[in-house]
Amino acid sequence: MATKNAADQAETAPANEDIEEFTVAPGRTVTTDDGDVGPGGTVILSVKEGAKLRKSGFLLAEDGSVTVNADGPPTSAGAEIKEQ
């Protein structure tokens, strides 16, 4: 499957928005106008859209880590939650 390179993607972004290159997180797929981009692939998005997808866990953080803000009670590995 042929994909556009970063320069081609940048040309299609709105001129009045800041754009940035982002990396798709493991286990995620981001769909762009050019098709689906899988884990480890790079996408060119507006900074605003990238921040929203990064917060949702679809894109890696700048340091390469996965960022996910989950709803629900905090748990730790090996902890057991019992209903009362």
Give pLDDT, residue 79.
55
d(CA 58, CA 56): 6
Q: Other C-beta atoms within 10 Å of 14: how many?
A: 8
Residue 2 pLDDT level (bands cut at 50, 70, 90): very low
The pLDDT mean for the chain works out to 78
The alpha-helical segments, DSSP class H, found in 1-84 are 6-12, 47-55
Name the phi and psi angles at 37, rounded to 5: -120, 120
pLDDT tens per residue, range 36-60 = 999 999 999 999 999 999 988 899 9
| Spatial distance between the Cα atoms of 5 and 7, rounded to a whole number of angstroms | 6
